[in-house]
A and B are shown apart, each in its own frame.
Chain A
Amino acid sequence: MSYFCHFNAEQGCLRVQGELTIYQASATLQAFRAACASMQLTQLDLSQVTDFDSAGLQLLLALKKSAPEVQLRHHSDAVIKVLSLTNLMTELDLDPLSGGV
């Protein structure tokens, strides 16, 4: 499968690989909830996200709402495209000028 969620507890880093769309939304939500529950999540690596839609966007927004301290990092092109279209770059840790943190 093109989707994979990996949580590195030591680094507190959760990485989503592949598509982050409505088809993976439930699974990703479970991963997010588990990672938050472990109290060790500090950052989310988006570099490997190949496809991104509104359901994915909502997941990131919800994550930010539940755990504002978690940093979103290494936004992939797919993510950047959606964030700039919806004008949500600052909310989701994307520097509008540099195009990534």
Chain B
Amino acid sequence: MNMELALQTFFDESRELLTDMERILLQLESFPGDAELRNALFRCVHTVKGSAGIFGFQHVVSFTHVVENVLDRLRTEEIHLSQLLADLLLRCRDHISLLVDIADPEDAVRLASASQRLLTELGPFHSVTPPQTPQAVVADSHQQHQWRLSVQIAADALRFGMDPLGFIGYLSRLGQLQVTTSSQAVPCLAELEPESCYLSFELALTTDASEALIKEAFELGNDLYQVQLECVQSAQLAKLSAGPPNDSSPELLARTIDKDAGQAHRRKPPAQHFRVQADKLDRLINLVGELVIASASVSLNAGHSGDAVSRESAANLNLLVEDIRNSSLELRMVAIGETFQRFQRVVRDLSAEIGKDIQLDITGAETELDKTVVEKIGDPLMHLVRNACDHGIELPAVRQQKGKLAQGLVQLNAYHESGAIVIEVNDDGNGLNRQKILAKAKEKHLLTGDGHLSDSEVFNLIFEPGFSTVEQVTNLSGRGVGMDVVKRNIEALRGSVELISPGTLGGTTFRIRLPLTLAIIDGFLARVGDATYVVPLDLVVECTELPKALCNADVVSTSHYINLRDEVLPIILLREHFMQPGTSGRRQNIIVVRHGAHKVGLVVDELLGEQQTVIKPLSGIFSHVKGLSGSTILGSGQVSLILDVPALLQQVSQREDSLDRSNNRHVRAPLAAC
């Protein structure tokens, strides 16, 4: 296995294990009697220590060794998990995570004092035997190890100025070096590319130098060399050493066996995973996108040719492509649970800091959404959760006065709804104070005029830049940055956020709606004049013909509403909206779309049917055009625009408001200018 790759695996695995460790510690606080949890906790740290040892990260090993020792005593019930110890262990976990991230032992010096402080704090919980690792490290450095290196060199190495003689020279100075040069790959003169490198080397090195020192030989030409490094044996095997990779003391041996047993235990679940580089996956998705476009073009041409056989083949191909598209998009889907889980710790630490007692409830952790969306939603969620804890939940005394439980509740909830994922952050705290927000908005000149505002409009003011109502600014939130950033981040993901008060739990509810994926969607294609538009199929409720009586453009464009089975439906004339020239045909159709609780009818000339759509971003010059979220390429090679339904709906509600105002007060609000 490639060294680089193995190292990456180590980092990934350690990160996972440390996440587990945090989760287990928090669980253990609630269920201190659970022996299985205590064992699992020990295994996490033990495995991190073991792997770190294999890679020669002594700074990680020497610290985790002590933590492991404490956890071992916890496991055997020699000590108990007090609040103090739990706090300390959580801080140790953070510290290990720092140590692992640093990786380079040279840089670890910076963290040495922090390590020492934590170790001193761990002292009382620690068993009588002093940590043997530091001494072992010293002993280790006097030991001669035999290393075997196999080096493959990229053909371009010489062109980049990397000469393999460089690292051979370096290694020969570290100890006794035996070189076997493999020259079979060098071709005869006729075929020789004089500046390409054909050589590869097998090296045997006997040295007391550390692994990191050996690796330094390849530091410069990192991606040009493929190095396999293997420690064959210690020259002084008999000498007792706690330093990995040769754990030979009986105690450590016992633990190693234990670890193996633990791993076997962990590997039991039937779901098997293997790691794939994210950029490989992204490339696959891009290719699938191109495939979708190409297959659309195939079926279009087959349809034009009028040949039944090719039409059938094209239809088959289309079905397959759709399957491929769905399964490859599924590859990118991850459960949101892991992101939610992170907030347990946040809430725990936060409530201690601000003197509140808050519980975090998680539901819908298994709800899946696109990896890129998950990555980007973490920060906005963090703001909202902190906000709920800091502003939403009251102090315990205040809560009791109001007759609520002293313990506040924050709830994270996720579920799917018509092609979108909904994430809610609920709290059972204060709720929002309409008067306070209005006053603040006026003070900050966010509000001009004194037009009547609906509740939701008032609440949404807190998403304005530079808005904050809390009198006392804490270091957690309330600095007036944040909410506008939250909104912007969510909108960048083609999502939306709304605020409901009183919310599900009586306090405030933030409801975030996000599209399931950012890459490819099922679209519904419609034509207006010469242009075609795509509506995300998941949002389409129904299609119907515009009643003949209303086809007269004047009627529709003046009323903006139609009666659809006794329901008032606001409509948007796409032709008018995008200022397309020409007049509508005799027959027009309505596509009824829905986003959240709102519906709107889009009036188009012709319905063209379902179409797989690869979303391509619109260039910056279109950024001021509202109501478009992207573009796509049709099978014919024609460009079609994707409608941004949430934005269209927003325009409708603004239009309504401005109409209301102009009717009632004869004032035109600036919002109407869209």
A-to-B contact residues, CB < 8 Å: 22, 25-26, 28-29, 32-33, 36, 53-55, 57-59, 61-63, 65-67, 82, 85-88, 91
Contact = CB atoms under 8 A, between A and B. Distances in A.
A16 to B, nearest CB: 14
Contact of B192 (A58, A67, A91): A58
A80 to B, nearest CB: 13
20 contacts: A22-B195, A32-B189, A53-B163, A54-B164, A54-B199, A58-B192, A58-B197, A58-B198, A58-B199, A59-B192, A59-B194, A62-B188, A63-B189, A66-B188, A66-B190, A67-B189, A85-B169, A86-B179, A86-B181, A87-B179
B158 A61 contact: no
A33 B199 CA distance: 21
B313 interface: no
Contact of B189 (A33, A55, A82): A33
A86 B192 contact: no
Contacts of A62: 186-189, 192
B579 interface: no
For this complex, into which size category does the number of interface residues on chain B fall? 20 to 34
A26 B165 contact: no
Interface in B177-191: 178-181, 183, 186-190
B192 A36 contact: no
B168 interface: yes
Contact of A85 (B168, B180, B189, B199): B168
B8 interface: no
**Which of A26, A57, A67 has the largest number of chain B CB atoms within 10 A?**
A57
Contacts of B190: 33, 66
Contact of B186 (A25, A53, A61): A61
A29 B165 contact: no
B189 A29 contact: yes
Given A54-B197, A86-B179, A36 B163 contact: no
Judged by DSSP, the binding face of A is helix
Contacts of A54: 158, 163-165, 197, 199
B172 interface: yes
**Which of B159, B194, B198 has the largest number of chain A CB atoms within 10 A?**
B194
Contact of A25 (B164, B195, B199): B195
Interface string B592-613: 0000000000000000000000
Nearest to A63: B189
Contacts of B165: 53-54, 82, 85-86
Contacts of B158: 22, 54-55
Given A25-B194, A29-B194, A82-B165, A88 B181 contact: yes
Pairs of residues from A and B, 3 with the lowest C-beta to C-beta distance, nearest first? A25-B194, A66-B188, A66-B189
Given A22-B159, A66-B190, 20 more contacts: A22-B158, A22-B194, A25-B195, A26-B194, A29-B192, A29-B194, A54-B158, A55-B158, A58-B186, A58-B194, A58-B199, A61-B183, A61-B186, A62-B188, A65-B187, A86-B165, A86-B201, A87-B179, A87-B181, A88-B183
Contacts of A57: 199
Contacts, number: 71
Contacts of A25: 194-195
Given A88-B181, A91-B183, A55 B195 contact: yes
Interface in B137-183: 158-159, 163-165, 168-169, 172, 178-181, 183
A41 B469 CA distance: 91
A6 B169 CA distance: 31
Contacts of A86: 165, 168, 179, 181, 201
B462 to A, nearest CB: 65
Nearest to A36: B189
Contacts of A65: 186-189
A57 B179 CA distance: 15
B201 to A, nearest CB: 8
A51 B197 CA distance: 18
Contacts of A29: 189, 192, 194
Contacts of B201: 86
A91 B169 CA distance: 20
Nearest to A91: B183
Nearest to A53: B163
Nearest to A22: B158
**Which of A26, A33, A55, A59 has the largest number of chain B CB atoms within 10 A?**
A55
Contacts of A66: 188-190
A66 B169 CA distance: 29
A67 B192 CA distance: 14
A86 B197 CA distance: 15
B165 to A, nearest CB: 6
A55 to B, nearest CB: 5
Contacts of B199: 54, 57-58
**Which of B159, B195, B197 has the largest number of chain A CB atoms within 10 A?**
B195
Contacts of B179: 85-87
A33 B172 CA distance: 34
Contacts of B187: 62, 65
B324 to A, nearest CB: 45
A75 to B, nearest CB: 16
Contacts of A88: 181, 183
B193 to A, nearest CB: 9
Contacts of A28: 194
Contacts of A82: 165
Contacts of A61: 183, 186
Contacts of B192: 29, 58-59, 62
A99 B127 CA distance: 62
Contacts of A63: 189
A26 B178 CA distance: 31
A59 B193 CA distance: 9
A91 B199 CA distance: 14
Nearest to A87: B179
A55 B193 CA distance: 10
Contacts of A67: 189
Nearest to B179: A87
Nearest to A84: B179
A62 B186 CA distance: 6
A37 B344 CA distance: 77
